[in-house]
Structure 1
Amino acid sequence: MDQNLNTSSMRDHEVNLFSGAFSTSCERVPNSNEVENSQELVSYFEDVCFIAISGKRKSGKDYFANLLRKEIMNRLGKTAAIIHISEPIKRAFAEEQNLDLEKLMSSSEYKEKFRRTMVHWGEVERRKDPTVFCRKSLEYLMQDSPFKPIYLIIADCRRPSDLTFFSSFNREIPLLHLRISASPTTRRSRGWIFFRGIDDAETECALDDAPFDILVINESERTLKLSMNMVIRAISGKPLRRIMTL
């Protein structure tokens, strides 16, 4: 992804990277039965550290998720993996519609062509079972990954129920919710165009007012580096410094 970003819209504004109250994004679920997890999933993931990423289209969620995985492995020497809640949606949708799954998983025009239909299809399935795709994403990881990660990054959380689901596993270490932010100008430079029925739908807006732990500003290399340092400090358990001006 092109990271020659427009910083003019953000440079003169004060931005607080740290939301203030760590782990306010997801209260610890007192009873795992409140979320329909299979016992196998609970047992496997109960000691995994979950990191949830949310943000608008073209804000750079996948880009940051990949950077974060590399930082965790290189700087902290820990294992990390990335999952997408959208992957089981796209797998099933691609099979049903006879589409190219690899292209559907990418940030391509091919995916955008089918996005509206796929979103509607996913919503119908989700109404039958609100956590079906969250569970499937974990099941795919168990099936496909050669190792059990210490840190698991969910690159595309879209609803409060997603955060609640993933926060229900590890009772010792709360889920860390990262909100990726980029200005409309920057997002447009990455190919974003507003589409009614997509950008104003629940899949894009349900977490707009949700509390988060750290705000990641993906406007320039500088803001991204500052944000990444904040995230690594949080993951490492070090005190977080309040950064007011980017």
Structure 2
Amino acid sequence: MGPLGGAPRLVLLFSGKRKSGKDFVTEALQSRLGADVCAVLRLSGPLKEQYAQEHGLDFQRLLDASTYKEAYRKDMIRWGEEKRQADPGCFCSKIVEGVSQPIWLVSDTRRVSDIQWFREAYGAVTQTVRVVALEQSRQQRGWEFTPGVDDAESECGLDNFGGFDWVIENHGDAQRLEEQLESLIGFIRSRL
């Protein structure tokens, strides 16, 4: 299971609960570093694309934060778990194909097996980033507890992982978030 994309200088694996701000943080980092230097990779992309093909659904609508996606979320999680049981790295290997930027931000790492795959494939250049937000902040962003989703491995698989290389607190304090992003950007630039 060797690297299938280019040789990255740094792979940051972002994880966190729904509405914690994983996409917001990775997009903010990419906009500051530049798309030519920094690629945002989404494990959910190939999962949703294949799920849409097999179930005759609109792939583009599964990508956004819509009620359309929410209607299929539970079944998509079940289906994705079946695929991962057959091949734990099936979605990881797809997202790295042809990526040429030196910095990779995987915006939606959800399982220990995802972290293991990247560590085995890319070794010491792989780091983990946990984005955390208070439940109140997540609710203000539209989060509501959904049984079968928020208590499933796709949301809880890294709750007890511990030992994250970075923790970004995204509770709604813009200044505090900016300080943390600047620190992470400094680290990223040191790897270029």
TM-score higher than 0.5 here? yes
Matches within 5 A, 1:1-246: 36-37=1-2, 41=4, 44-73=5-34, 79-139=37-97, 142=98, 148-171=100-123, 173-210=124-161, 211-219=163-171, 220-237=173-190
Mapped partners of 1:45, 1:157: distance in 2: 20
Give the total of aligned pairs. 189
Give the C-alpha shift of residue 214 in structure 1. Answer: 1.2
Q: Which runs of 5+ in 2 are unaligned?
A: none
Higher helix share: 2
- Quick one: which amino acid aligns to residue 182 of structure 1? A
- Quick one: which amino acid aligns to residue 32 of structure 2? E
Give the C-alpha shift of residue 232 in structure 1. Answer: 1.3
- Quick one: which amino acid aligns to residue 223 of structure 1? R
- What secondary structure does 1:119 align onto? helix
Once the two structures are superposed, what CA deviation does each residue of 1:60-87 show, in whole Å capped at 9, x if it has no partner? 111111101112229xxx6111111111
- What secondary structure does 1:51 align onto? strand
- Quick one: which amino acid aligns to residue 187 of structure 2? A
- Quick one: which amino acid aligns to residue 43 of structure 2? I
Mapped partners of 2:141, 2:8: distance in 1: 37
Mapped partners of 2:65, 2:137: distance in 1: 16
Asked if structure 2 preserves the Cα contact closer than 8 Å seen for 1:50 and 1:167, the reply is no
Asked if structure 1 preserves the Cα contact closer than 8 Å seen for 2:13 and 2:106, the reply is yes
| Matched-pair identity in % | 34
Higher-Rg member (1/2): 1
- Quick one: which amino acid aligns to residue 146 of structure 2? F
TM-score between both structures, scaled by the size of structure 2: 0.91
- Quick one: which amino acid aligns to residue 222 of structure 1? Q
